[in-house]
Structure 1
Amino acid sequence: MTTNTTHFGFKQVDSKDKVKLVRGVFDSVADSYDVMNDLMSVGIHRIWKRIAVQLSNVRKDETVLDLAGGTGDLTALFEKRVGKNGQVVLADINAQMLRTGRDRLIDKGLVGNVRYAQVNAECLPFEDNTFDCVCIGFGLRNVTDKDAALRSMYRVLKPGGRLIVLEFSHPTDKITEKVYDFYSFKLLPKIGKFVAKDEDSYRYLAESIRMHPKQDELKNMMVNAGFERCEYYNMTQGIVAIHRGYKI
């Protein structure tokens, strides 16, 4: 009898166990997630997120699904764009991350047009043609079945809707790649140990980035899921990429 396996960082694990293992990582880092994001990227993650929101072309009165929305950075940016008559759904598979994001947004006074949902991206519990935009920021690499998730995102988008995938990706030159590898595998786990008191989770995060599909591969996966006019934008020499596709 064969067992379906997938990667958890560089390890091979039973596919049905990956959700539980990823949940353990983010349960561990939820309270220090924002501080670590600022440290890991020297604050540049805020610029990446603003560019992703700009590329989404979200307008007033539209409806946005912020998948793997975590602590709510992207939701807060989308909320400003959709206005009081629009709506943003902050969604995450991890309850602790979702609670952290909800508390942050409530503290900011964002209570009128933001909803919350604990969901699995592979089987979204929303009706067909619900959202004008689906955005998944730094979350797709943690999904077990990425193809199923992309098909699910396509289904819940309205015709003319946009998918935005903001994700760590693969450097476009050898020098950046070598520096990035040194930082990811030598420095990042130590920063995680010192700040978040969790070296293993940040080692997993570095490994999960390396296992994520390369830019052109992810673009082809989006095409196979039904998206059209697919394109991507490399940022910071390909350390991060933003993919965009449309449901026509």
Structure 2
Amino acid sequence: MTDTAPSPASSREAGWFGFRPVDPAQKAGMVRQVFDSVASSYDVMNDAMSLGVHRLWKAALIDWVAPRDGRRYLDVAGGTGDIAFRILGRAPGARVTIADINESMVSVGRDRALDKGIKGDLSYLVADAQSLPVPDSSVDTYTIAFGLRNVTHIDQALADAFRVLRPGGRFFCLEFSHVILPGLDKIYDLYSFKLLPELGALIAKDRESYQYLVESIRRFPPQEELAERMRAVGFERVEIRNLSGGIAAIHSGWKL
């Protein structure tokens, strides 16, 4: 099933930029401006925002992906290379493509690969997750980390992920999610809404962009809803792993 017509939920999401209502036709450009602004400080801010815990979440993702030589991996919204570099670190003989809608993020990723001496079959695409210039049934594993919530139509991105995966291929999404531990939600809200925008102002010199990022997390669908939307585009054997009490979650699904 690869129908890319927006669902009612996806259409509602498209009309919001964080907590601000917007014309869906303008949302992608507004998100692009956010990441153009924060590209150079993106990785430093990830450490500051999560107190370094994002590294453990990404390690958990890679453990579940279990990269293997000879397989083709597509990392979407992966401009700075964090996930792609980890895949190649585990499987130097893998073929990895990074796709990101922001050329500035892709440029940062290329520079980081050179600085780190990353070797292997690594390529780049400046492309929209909703309509990737990737052949049908050509990818073994599709990963997207902290990018799905920024897509205008989430269901279109899920459907396109299903399209590009070969039969037997697997989808993985690591994303900020919804806290499931009682009491942690209040602490997390205080940290998110009070401290994170101030960190953005201090480190990235951009409070507004990080205010959007915090708000975009709250508007992202809860774990079970995202799992149902994955099933709706055709994914089977959908699984969820909550991380840090649901602050983040990994979703996995198979194209069978």
- Provide TM-score, normalisation by structure 2: 0.93
Match of 1:37? 46
Asked if the contact 2:92–2:120 (Cα under 8 Å) also holds between the matched residues in 1, the reply is: no
Separation in structure 1 between the aligned mates of residue 181 and residue 52 of structure 2, nearest angstrom: 22
Q: Please provide the CA RMSD for this pair.
A: 1.3
Give the C-alpha shift of residue 173 in structure 1: 2.4
Asked if the contact 1:172–1:237 (Cα under 8 Å) also holds between the matched residues in 2, the reply is: yes
Whichever residue aligns with residue 109 of structure 1, its letter is: G
Greater mean deviation of Cα atoms: 104-113 or 64-73: 104-113
Separation in structure 2 between the aligned mates of residue 226 and residue 135 of structure 1, nearest angstrom: 17
SS in 2 for 1:101: helix
Give the C-alpha shift of residue 6 in structure 1: 1.2
What stretches of structure 1 move > 6 A for 4+ residues in a row?
none
Separation in structure 1 between the aligned mates of residue 114 and residue 236 of structure 2, nearest angstrom: 36
Asked if the contact 1:64–1:89 (Cα under 8 Å) also holds between the matched residues in 2, the reply is: yes
Q: 12, 17, 33: which one pairs with 1:24?
A: 33
Structure 1 residues 20-99: aligned runs within 5 Å = 20-84=29-93, 86-99=94-107
Structure 1 residues 99-178: aligned runs within 5 Å = 99-178=107-186
Give the C-alpha shift of residue 130 in structure 1: 0.9
Give the C-alpha shift of residue 81 in structure 1: 3.0
Q: 218, 221, 224: which one pairs with 2:232?
A: 224
Q: 218, 234, 237: which one pairs with 2:242?
A: 234
Separation in structure 2 between the aligned mates of residue 57 and residue 13 of structure 1, nearest angstrom: 39
Count of equivalent residues: 245
Sequence identity percentage = 49
Give the C-alpha shift of residue 111 in structure 1: 4.2
Per-residue CA distance 1:83-124 (angstroms, 9 max, x = gap): 23x210011000101100111012222243100000100011
Please list every run of 5 or more consecutive structure 2 residues that lacks an aligned counterpart in the other structure.
Answer: 1-10
Please list every run of 5 or more consecutive structure 1 residues that lacks an aligned counterpart in the other structure.
Answer: none
